[in-house]
Amino acid sequence: MKTIRLILGDQLNPEHSWFTEVNPDTIYTLMEIRQETDYVLHHAQKIIGIFAGMRHLAQTLLARGHRVHYFEIDSKDNSHVLTKNLDFLIDRYEATRFDYQEPDEYRLDQQLKEFSSTLKIQSAMVSSEHFYTVREECEKIFTDQKQWLMERFYRLMRTKHQILMQDAKKPLGDQWNFDQENRKPWAGNPAEPADTRVTHDHRLLWDKIVHAGVKSFGDPCATQFRWPLNRQEALEHLDVFIQNILPEFGNFQDAMSTKGWRLFHSLISFALNTKMLTPREVVTQAEQAYLRDEVTLATAEGFIRQIIGWREYIRGMYWAHMPGYDDHNFFEHNRPLPEWFWTGQTKMNCMSHAIGQSLEHAYAHHIQRLMIIGNFSLLAGLDPQALHRWYLGIYIDAFEWVELPNTVGMSQYADGGLLATKPYVSSAAYIDRMSDYCKGCHYNKKLREGDKACPFNALYWDFFDRNREKLSKNFRLGMVYRNLQKMDDAAQLSFRKQAVKIHSDLDSL
């Protein structure tokens, strides 16, 4: 009985139970296909990283004695459509069975379910063996709840899996969440740790990608590619993070600076989201670092919350609300993305730095994505679907299950509050408090009107003014609307005029 087993580009786990036994009648397949490079415009490093990671896994499997049929981007038998390639393999090997691991993106899940339903051979979807939760688990937890809350989910996960617990029901330190201790700005001390990731030269692969006609944007860094491409590299980088970087992560996880793009972030999200690493081993290492007294409880908890809390919760939100979640547009925003989203060439220092480093490294950390780029996008009224496609394309760790709820829900509040309890927006004051972006900026952080006024200031008040009907009853926004009410008519007219001027020519900012 010949079996075809499909491995997708974000399923690069060589420890999956599929691989425990070598069977000459089982053929594994990985595919570099235009279907996946072209559904949105992707950052060059994202394409290189996934292709190179697949090639590493294929070589690992071959070295272990497994059979592999690999479709390179320029293979003559590559149709560049997932299901057509599978039909080709089934015919070529006269397969009597087709298996695949559960996809994490709805479009692939539907494509493979439909394909499997038409086959005249046996077919099965198996677990990817990656997450703490199954797809439907989060939805079941909130079945009888009026509103989903990540904190409730997070506490249930901590309790269920006994992570940072002093007994069956009590958290260490008698406190579940230390978020208030994780919000310090960074002034340069301690120094940003050295980047010890392995450097790869992928000029030949990049040339093949370009020659095949694949469109992309951003710096390919083809000769200095630094993202991990296999499990061993990912584990080595995780060790470096836990030992040398995690101790300061808690203090500065929300900080931003022109003097460092990495600061104290783990940079493991690409390896984690392509399943080179498992969330369990990452969480266990962070917990053990606390138990060895190498990091504070607040630091360990803050990092672990991102994984067992937010990451698993976001996945549950995605599967509970697809299809259709990507169509939400609560504020009916429809402005196109400014041209500088593709160049980073804007006079706003914060946006220039956050977008510029995204174009250079295919990465920005969560506060840059939420409170700089996402903040401006919501205040400016950018189309949330266009922004979703931009986020999905530009970040090397962005796969729809994790990116879509973060963009449409958390960042843009386009789902009307299914995910977030309020819109996450701010004026220049927050940006100045958490970064050095305002220093030397073309715009003045203190001004609300005039050519030199920071666009965030007028846009902030205009956003809440325009959306009174939708937001004024939100219990978390009472202070905002009380302050807005205190403004005299002249002040309100001033920020409205300034906002109209900004909105009329976003490309010139």
Class of the domain covering 339-508: mainly alpha
Distance CA 360, CA 451 (A): 29
Using the CB atoms, write b or e for 313-328: b if 16+ within 10 Å: bbbbbbbbbbeebbeb
Question: Is the Cβ–Cβ distance between 399 and 393 less than 8 Å?
Answer: no
pTM for the whole structure: 0.96
Residue 290, classed as helix, strand or coil, is helix
The mean pLDDT value for 43-56 works out to 98
The residues pairing with 29 across neighbouring beta strands, listed in sequence order, are: 6, 69
Q: How far is CA 285 from CA 102, 175, 249, 291, in A?
A: 27, 21, 14, 10
Q: Give yes or no on whether 3-126 and 339-508 have one common fold.
A: no
Q: What is the pLDDT of residue 182?
A: 74
pLDDT over 80 at 265, yes or no: yes
Distance CA 320, CA 336 (A): 29
Distance CA 252, CA 471 (A): 31
> Would you report the helix, strand and coil content of the chain in percent, each value rounded to 5?
50, 10, 40
Cβ-Cβ contacts under 8 Å for 220 (sequence gap 6 or more): 44, 45, 48, 202, 206
User: Which CATH fold topology does 137-318 show?
Assistant: 1.25.40
Residue 424: closest CA among 436, 435, 441, 410: 410
Distance CA 425, CA 373 (A): 10
Mean pLDDT of the chain: 96
The mean pLDDT value for 191-215 works out to 96
Domain ranges of the chain: 3-126, 137-318, 339-508
Residue 479 binned pLDDT confidence (cut-offs 50, 70, 90): very high
The mean pLDDT value for 408-430 works out to 96
Q: Provide the 8-state DSSP code for 225.
A: B
Distance CA 138, CA 419 (A): 13
CATH number of the domain located at residue range(s) 3-126 in this protein: 3.40.50.620
The mean pLDDT value for 93-111 works out to 98
Distance CA 162, CA 52 (A): 36
Q: What is the pLDDT of residue 492?
A: 94
Give the model confidence (pLDDT) of 155-185 as tens digits.
999 999 999 999 999 999 999 999 877 779 9
pLDDT over 90 at 145, yes or no: no
Q: What is the pLDDT of residue 228?
A: 97
Q: What is the pLDDT of residue 1?
A: 83
pLDDT exceeding 70 applies to what percent of the chain?
100
